[in-house]
Amino acid sequence: MTATWIIVGIIVLLLLALVGIYNGLVSKRIRCQEAWAQVDVQLKRRYDLIPNLVETVRGYATHEKETLERVINARNKAIAASGVKEQAEAENFLSGALRQLFALSEAYPNLKANENFSQLQEELTSTENRIAFARQHYNDSGAIYNTARESFPNNLVANAFNFQRQDYFELEEPAAREAPKVKFQ
């Protein structure tokens, strides 16, 4: 009789532990998804700013067609990308193209003096920072989730209920980590 109760007790405890671990994993995964949603919002913000920027620059820098084309292509590719890894690659490419565009603006004093352009610069600086910070927050949440997912005994639950590993939003070269923080002075 007592043996039955002990077994029932153990089963109940195990079930409670299972529920606790499962819910913990779910809430961490949701936090990752929220963080990713923020990255997405900021990426869209950048897509929306680019046509305006390209138009402004085109009016002053008539000989820079190639650079402008590259920015537009990079933007379109980034919009079409899907999945964290592919997105990260496309966005890195777009960041590079934008950097080039701003570097080239140094050669056009009239463009730099344009008020619309300087406003766009502040907005794009902010957007680049937002993307960097949102990415940082996403990676932090991802690291917390992945650690929880892989540690024992959570990994048993994670495997049984198919909790996928989160990809990180990474930049290829360490040097590029600094670069998105564009400085204009």
DSSP string, the chain: -HHHHHHHHHHHHHHHHHHHHHHHHHHHHHHHHHHHHHHHHHHHHHHHHHHHHHHHHHHH-TT-HHHHHHHHHHHHHHHH--SHHHHHHHHHHHHHHHHHHHHHHTT-HHHHH-HHHHHHHHHHHHHHHHHHHHHHHHHHHHHHHHHHHHSTTHHHHHHHTT-PPPPP---SSGGGGTTTS----
Q: Does 129 bind another protein (CB under 8 A)?
A: yes
Q: Candidates 80-88, 90-98, 117-125, 155-163 — which segment interacts with another protein by CB under 8 A?
A: 117-125
**Which span sits near another protein by CB under 8 A: 55-63, 64-72, 104-112, 118-126?**
118-126
Site for another protein (CB under 8 A): which residue of 40, 69, 122, 150? 122
Single out the residue of 8, 15, 34, 80 in contact with another protein (rule: CB under 8 A): 34
To another protein, the closest distance from the beta carbon of 99 in angstroms equals: 17
What is the binding site for another protein (CB under 8 A)? 31, 34-35, 38, 42, 119, 122-123, 125-126, 129-130, 133-134, 136-137, 141, 144, 147
